[in-house]
Chains A and B, each alone.
Chain A
Amino acid sequence: MLKIDNLQVAVGDNKVLNGLTLEVPTGEVHAIMGPNGSGKSTLAHVLAGRPGYTVTAGSVTLDGKDLLALEPEERAHEGVFLGFQYPVEIPGVNNVYLLKAALNAARKHRGLPEVDAFEFLTLVREKMKLMKMDESFLSRGVNEGFSGGEKKRNEILQMLVLEPKLAVLDETDSGLDIDALKVVANGVNTLRSPDRSVVLVTHYQRLLDYVVPDHVHVLVRGKIARSGDRTLALELEKRGYDWVLEEAA
């Protein structure tokens, strides 16, 4: 279970999260919504350990383990996966190499031997089929020259191969057309299981039609202003964020 308690985060002199408290029990999908600048992406980045954020107070634990004390790669080893809002292009490193290196890093942490080359390819091909990705993706540079939709699919592919304990998806739905959105949602749903948690950071409720969350939280000025079930997302869709902002004020 992911447990965030009174988390306060600053970027430079700017306070972005102001005492955020949230619990995501194992097996559940929680959606984090909120207006622009409310701290959604900051939360996602801080969970994954991106440099440039100062945690001034509070704690984050995953199954009791203090995540904030870990380096980004150690968090990945503990089962944290961040799906990037803007996946990075890395020309010269091919996708299949990265997937394999990432999978082997996780296996090494669990004391398992390196993955067998044949098993690995079988696994990746199966997941690629699910994500409706062409085989040629494998030999291309990481996200190099990918369209926005391809990049997001690639994020989900990596997630499916790595099978994280906690997936934090930062606006994975942004910039997707309806068909791509369905593919991505299908990928996320495949990962849903009693022993995983998913945090979906999103601006719109559209994604939540396809990935139905157990809980919806609204982030306002760096704090959870309101929580509810999926009907909260529908209400936000209809009424916008203003009423939550007013209530919070």
Chain B
Amino acid sequence: MSAALATRIAEDFAAATPAANELQRQRAMQALTKSGLPTSRDENWKYVNLRPLEKVRFAPPPGEGKITVTVADLPATVARSRYTFVDGVFAPALSAPTTNEGVSVISMKASTPRAASVSPDLPADLRFALLNEAFATDGAQIEVAPGAHCETCVELVFGATTEAKAGASYPRVSFKVGAGARIGLIERHVSIGSDANFINCAVDVEVARDSSVQHFRVQQTGARAIWFDTLTARLAENARYQVHTVNLGGLSARSTMHVQLTGERSEEGLFNVSVGGKNQVHDTFALVEHIAPNARTEQGFRGISGGRARVAFNGKIIVRKSAHGTDSRQSLRGLLAGTDAEIDVRPQLEIYTDDVRCNHGATAGKLDDNMLFYLLSRGLDRETALRLLKWAFLEDVVAKIDVPELRRQIEQSLASQLNETAALKELL
């Protein structure tokens, strides 16, 4: 991080209104000052575009978002209850909370004591979470009681409205799931209006033993938005956590995920679909750390890069010495859909013990000529055939989203994004 950037962050921090959680914010700021933000010279950060940081005002916008947001600006609700945040601040008028037994959702602003903070000595790749911690004034705190069952339960919508020069948006989620609970969470990120938003999101997930969590994350911010995201999760014994991310929007979107399998026989599924066109940059770094024995991971990535876009997925699995009996599978596939586009798919494995099963497959390439000719020979026009093949390419990972209404919405968005990914004719 440049000295100028550090100074600006510190100045913006000093100018921000003190909040109830001042001590915690101070600690995060101190840790951030010490560690700095990543730069493109850091390993795992070379694809992301960090230049927009130079123009951001890091403090949240003063008061409410500058444009009036209505329910019509938001995607149709899928889950039982919805909680909307505008520029990181809970907006009751845009929310539809309902009571779900054993599930508590509160605004962090209102919570006492506040949710536990990110540890200040967290791994270097998670430093954007410190920036969130230092500046966020609100967020969603979700607690699920042991044994509670609520599928497709809670939907969080984070809408950004403010131009980056005027203020940043800090979506923040703390999600704690009690033992033996089953729950589904939908998390959406959108822009309202066409300003160049700066969004820095931090999500922390704690999955207790024997529980099962489905977490769907849809990033559909605006064409000029800069989106940073840090997700951390810990899984206890026998816990199951599936996180599905769909990356469609943003000018630049970077997601950093760190999942720790701390409980024996825990199960992680990490699925990511990313479609970039025009001059978009989508970059995901997903680290799954096997600490306990006999845990399983499945990582799936399908990315399409068209136009002048750059889509990258770096999927890393670390198997610690203690994690014998680990079973991990990676299937990472990228498709290049434009002569000026770039796709980077990188599987990484670090194994410190014997007795593990780690399979990985990674491909990056163009569409298959034989498949294309087959469809053309059946009379499909070239554009339809190409679109269909791209669709098919994504389908096995999209199909894992087993909330029909959400999947329908996502498929619709994917279809229109694929149409816009243009440069179809450049493909072959």
* Interfacial residues, chain A to chain B (CB-CB below 8 A): 48-51, 71-73, 75-77, 81-82, 84, 87-88, 90-93, 98, 101-102, 105-106, 109, 141-142, 158, 162
- Contact stretch, chosen from B153-161, B340-348, B387-395: B387-395
Query: A90-B389, A92-B391, A93-B388 known; A158 and B378 CB under 8 Å?
Result: yes
Chain B residues in 8 Å Cβ range of A162: 378-379
| CA of A105 to CA of B371, assembled, Å | 17
Query: A72-B373, A72-B376, A72-B377 known; A101 and B384 CB under 8 Å?
Result: yes
B355 CB-CB contact with A under 8 Å? no
Chain A residues in 8 Å Cβ range of B379: 73, 76-77, 102, 105-106, 109, 162
Chain B residues in 8 Å Cβ range of A93: 375, 388-389, 391-392
Chain A residues in 8 Å Cβ range of B388: 93, 101
- Count how many pairs of residues, one from A and one from B, have CB atoms less than 8 Å apart in the complex: 76
Min C-beta distance of A144 to chain B, whole Å: 10
From A81, A82, A98, A109, give the contact of B375 (CB < 8 A).
A98
Query: A91-B392, A92-B393, A93-B388 known; A73 and B374 CB under 8 Å?
Result: no
Residue of A nearest to B381 (CB): A73
Min C-beta distance of B388 to chain A, whole Å: 6
Chain A residues in 8 Å Cβ range of B371: 88, 90
- Contact between B380 and A73, CB atoms less than 8 A apart: yes
Chain B residues in 8 Å Cβ range of A92: 391-396
- Contact between A98 and B378, CB atoms less than 8 A apart: yes
Residue of A nearest to B428 (CB): A51
- Contact between B376 and A76, CB atoms less than 8 A apart: yes
Most buried by B among A90, A102, A109: A90
From B380, B389, B396, give the contact of A101 (CB < 8 A).
B380
Chain A residues in 8 Å Cβ range of B114: none
Chain B residues in 8 Å Cβ range of A142: 374
Chain B residues in 8 Å Cβ range of A75: 377
- For chain B, what secondary structure do more than half of its interface residues adopt (helix, strand, loop), or is it mixed? helix
Query: A90-B389, A92-B392, A93-B392 known; A102 and B374 CB under 8 Å?
Result: no
User: What is the size, in residues, of chain B's interface with A at 8 Å between Cβ atoms?
Assistant: 24
Interface residues of B in 349-397 (CB under 8 A from A): 368-371, 373-382, 384-385, 388-389, 391-396
Min C-beta distance of A128 to chain B, whole Å: 17
| CA of A75 to CA of B376, assembled, Å | 9
| CA of A162 to CA of B378, assembled, Å | 9
| CA of A50 to CA of B377, assembled, Å | 8
Query: A88-B370, A88-B371 known; A49 and B392 CB under 8 Å?
Result: no
Using A49-B377, A98-B380 as known contacts, list a sample of 14 further A-B pairs with CB atoms less than 8 Å apart, ordered by residue number in A: A48-B377, A49-B376, A51-B369, A71-B376, A73-B380, A73-B381, A76-B377, A76-B378, A76-B379, A82-B377, A88-B374, A91-B395, A93-B375, A93-B391
| CA of A98 to CA of B374, assembled, Å | 11
Min C-beta distance of B4 to chain A, whole Å: 48
| CA of A92 to CA of B396, assembled, Å | 7
Residue of B nearest to A97 (CB): B388
- Contact between A105 and B381, CB atoms less than 8 A apart: yes
Interface residues of B in 375-421 (CB under 8 A from A): 375-382, 384-385, 388-389, 391-396
| CA of A90 to CA of B391, assembled, Å | 11
| CA of A91 to CA of B52, assembled, Å | 40
Interface residues of B in 293-331 (CB under 8 A from A): none
Q: Can you show 26 pairs from A to B with CB atoms below 8 A apart?
A: A49-B377, A71-B382, A72-B376, A73-B379, A73-B382, A73-B385, A76-B378, A81-B377, A84-B374, A88-B368, A90-B371, A90-B375, A91-B392, A91-B396, A92-B393, A92-B394, A92-B395, A92-B396, A93-B375, A93-B388, A98-B378, A101-B388, A105-B379, A106-B379, A141-B392, A162-B379
From B368, B373, B392, give the contact of A50 (CB < 8 A).
B373
| CA of A223 to CA of B395, assembled, Å | 45
From A51, A81, A141, give the contact of B373 (CB < 8 A).
A51
| CA of A99 to CA of B388, assembled, Å | 13
Chain A residues in 8 Å Cβ range of B380: 73, 98, 101-102, 105
Chain A residues in 8 Å Cβ range of B373: 50-51, 72, 88
Chain B residues in 8 Å Cβ range of A84: 374, 377
Residue of A nearest to B395 (CB): A92
| CA of A102 to CA of B374, assembled, Å | 11
* 9 residue pairs, one from A and one from B, having the closest CB atoms: A92-B392, A76-B379, A92-B395, A105-B379, A102-B378, A72-B376, A88-B374, A73-B376, A93-B392
| CA of A87 to CA of B380, assembled, Å | 16
Residue of B nearest to A93 (CB): B392
Chain A residues in 8 Å Cβ range of B393: 92
Chain A residues in 8 Å Cβ range of B376: 49, 71-73, 76
Chain A residues in 8 Å Cβ range of B382: 71, 73
Min C-beta distance of A43 to chain B, whole Å: 15
Residue of A nearest to B388 (CB): A93
Chain B residues in 8 Å Cβ range of A91: 392, 395-396
| CA of A174 to CA of B369, assembled, Å | 23
Min C-beta distance of A69 to chain B, whole Å: 16
| CA of A109 to CA of B393, assembled, Å | 28
Chain A residues in 8 Å Cβ range of B384: 101, 105
Chain A residues in 8 Å Cβ range of B377: 48-50, 72-73, 75-76, 81-82, 84
| CA of A199 to CA of B124, assembled, Å | 66
Residue of A nearest to B399 (CB): A92
| CA of A77 to CA of B378, assembled, Å | 8
